């Protein structure tokens, strides 16, 4: 596919901490957090004028799904916008608590694990052609997803060593650092489940588009990214690999004997050299497989050309990330890749205070890296100091908070804004726009995710703006 729709769904961690353990529970904190959303949209599950979806997920997790984006810059901007929108709710709640004398601090985390061993997700969505053989795509994609964490993992401290395979119990070995937060909570390669077995690829066929032509690939094994450049690399490398598979490129069979076990092996080995067993009896390391993918993609781009302006940047960072792991020189990527940025910060603190990863303070700093607060979050502290690279401009991020990308989301966003401003009762989902009148109902279906206008939708928006709805 020359054009593709991308989207990211992010579940946030939420907690209220107060002296003597008097903080509110997760359910109550989440309920209070979403009070402004309920007042605005009369529900805790709403679509916003920027085309994105904001809702309260199972387990009292705030979740934001980006609007449909058709460019790498737009999907990164939408992801950043989502973080800032949800953090805005946190700021409002903190102000409310301060005014009420509740005390304590409300924390919002863009990460994937909590102290009780629970995991919450970051899901990537890629529109693919219906004609693509899905089983072949999954076969080639799984080894890539297992090993790409050496580039785009969020990093995680294990104060007593990584947990045993198949258990959430703390480890009993030496303190360590791993590439990924999510890897210890994934149980199989692909299935239709999302919580019970947690596969890497969710196979439910929900295209949110014309099902005759499109399918949605739902990847749920990745970590949430604080770094814009990590997000761009994560989406960009997966996209170009999909493009190569869709084009019918012949790739060697690198099916893993046990993808879930391999996922953990890769996460816990910062050298990238752990031996992974292949289903055909062969063996490869994470570095071996990623070098194979990079070389194949590079040749493909040389033959067929770049399909966006960031391809040279993408391939250069991909290669440099692999070289950083291969040479164990993490300074090569400690401005761009989350796991390396965080490790540099933690290692610097540990050296200054004479401690290692077993110290409780290191776990606190690990979590604080993902705090979305502009003033308290450690990643945002590094942003202010100019210690990390950006992929988009501040103006692009701010624009994405208020405006949808140039896709179907722009129709939805204008409809949401118009009906809300006019006080008109409406219902919205990814594909449908519906006016709920006393005597009649009108609904339109927007099946083309690339369309920025649609006559019947425009007519309905005009009707609302003119006060005739």
162-179 per-position pLDDT tens digit: 887 655 555 667 899 999
Closest alpha carbon to 219 in 139, 78, 74, 122: 122
Return the pLDDT at 172: 64
Return the pLDDT at 168: 52
Query: How large a percentage of the chain has pLDDT more than 70?
Result: 96
Q: Which of 57, 347, 389, 448 is catalytic?
A: 57
pLDDT band at residue 22 under the 50/70/90 scheme: confident
Closest alpha carbon to 222 in 8, 5, 4, 6: 8
- Give 58's DSSP letter: T
Return the pLDDT at 194: 53
- Specify the residue for token string 């014309």: 210
Residue pLDDT, tens place only, 411-424:
999 999 999 999 99
For residue 214, pLDDT over 70 is answered with yes
Residue pLDDT, tens place only, 141-153:
999 999 999 999 9
Residue pLDDT, tens place only, 33-83:
999 999 999 999 999 999 999 999 877 899 999 999 999 999 999 999 999
Rounded Cα distance between 243 and 249, Å, is 9
Average pLDDT over residues 223-235: 98
Rounded Cα distance between 256 and 283, Å, is 9
Return the pLDDT at 195: 52
Residue pLDDT, tens place only, 275-334:
999 999 999 999 999 999 999 999 999 999 999 999 999 999 999 999 999 999 999 999
Helix residue ranges per DSSP H, 203-285 = 228-246, 259-267
Is the model's pTM score more than 0.85?
yes
pLDDT band at residue 21 under the 50/70/90 scheme: confident
Average pLDDT over residues 229-239: 98
Residue pLDDT, tens place only, 113-131:
987 778 888 999 999 999 9
Is residue 338 flagged as an active site residue? no
Return the pLDDT at 440: 66
For residue 20, pLDDT over 90 is answered with no
Return the pLDDT at 438: 67
- Specify the residue for token string 């799984």: 142
Q: Which of 206-210, 233-237, 283-287, 441-445 has the lowest mean pLDDT?
A: 441-445
Strand 188-191 relative to strand 199-202, pairing: parallel
What are 25's two structure tokens? 């529970």
- Cβ 433 vs Cβ 440: under 8 Å: no
Return the pLDDT at 198: 75
- Residue 435 forms beta bridges with which residues? 426, 442
Return the pLDDT at 41: 94
For residue 192, pLDDT over 70 is answered with no
């Amino acid at each position: 596919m020359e054009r593709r729709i991308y989207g990211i769904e992010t579940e946030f961690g939420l907690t209220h901490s107060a002296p003597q353990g008097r903080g509110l529970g997760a359910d109550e904190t989440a309920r209070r957090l979403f009070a402004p959303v309920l007042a605005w949209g009369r529900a805790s599950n709403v679509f916003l004028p920027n085309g994105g979806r904001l809702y309260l997920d199972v387990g009292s997790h705030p979740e934001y799904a980006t609007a449909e984006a058709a460019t790498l810059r737009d999907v990164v901007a939408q992801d950043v916008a989502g973080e800032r929108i949800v953090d805005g709710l946190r700021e409002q709640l903190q102000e409310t608590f301060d005014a009420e004398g509740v005390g304590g601090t409300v924390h919002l985390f863009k990460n994937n694990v909590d102290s009780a061993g629970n995991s919450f997700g970051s899901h990537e969505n890629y529109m693919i052609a219906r004609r693509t053989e899905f089983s072949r795509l999954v076969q080639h994609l799984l080894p890539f997803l297992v090993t790409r964490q050496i580039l785009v993992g969020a990093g995680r401290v294990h104060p007593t060593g990584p947990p045993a395979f198949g258990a959430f119990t703390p480890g009993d070995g030496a303190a360590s650092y791993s590439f990924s937060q999510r890897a210890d909570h994934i149980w199989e390669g692909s299935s239709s489940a999302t919580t019970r077995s947690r596969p890497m690829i969710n196979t439910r066929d929900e295209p949110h588009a014309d099902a005759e032509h499109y399918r949605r690939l739902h990847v749920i094994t990745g970590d949430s990214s604080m770094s814009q450049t990590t997000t761009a690399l994560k989406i960009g490398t997966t996209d170009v690999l999909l493009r190569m598979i869709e084009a019918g490129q012949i790739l060697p069979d690198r099916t893993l004997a046990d993808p879930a076990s391999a996922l953990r092996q890769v996460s816990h080995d910062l050298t990238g050299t752990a031996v992974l067993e292949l289903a055909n009896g062969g063996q490869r390391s994470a570095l071996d497989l990623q070098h194979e993918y990079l070389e194949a993609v590079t040749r493909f781009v040389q033959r067929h050309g770049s399909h966006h302006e960031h391809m040279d940047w993408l391939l250069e960072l991909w290669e440099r990330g692999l070289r950083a792991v291969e040479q164990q020189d993490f300074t090569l990527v400690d401005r761009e890749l989350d796991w390396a940025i965080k490790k540099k910060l933690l290692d610097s603190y540990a050296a200054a205070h004479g401690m290692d990863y077993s110290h409780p303070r290191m776990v606190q700093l690990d979590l604080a890296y993902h705090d979305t607060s502009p003033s308290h979050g450690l990643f945002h502290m590094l942003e202010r100091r100019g210690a990390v690279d950006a992929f988009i401009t501040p103006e692009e991020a701010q624009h994405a908070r208020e405006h949808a990308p140039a896709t179907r989301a722009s129709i939805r966003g204008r409809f949401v804004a118009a009906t809300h401003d006019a006080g008109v009762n409406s219902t919205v989902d990814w594909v449908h726009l519906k006016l709920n009148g006393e005597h009649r109902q009108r609904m339109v279906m927007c099946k083309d995710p690339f369309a920025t206008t649609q006559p019947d939708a425009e007519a309905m928006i005009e009707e609302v703006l003119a006060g005739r709805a």
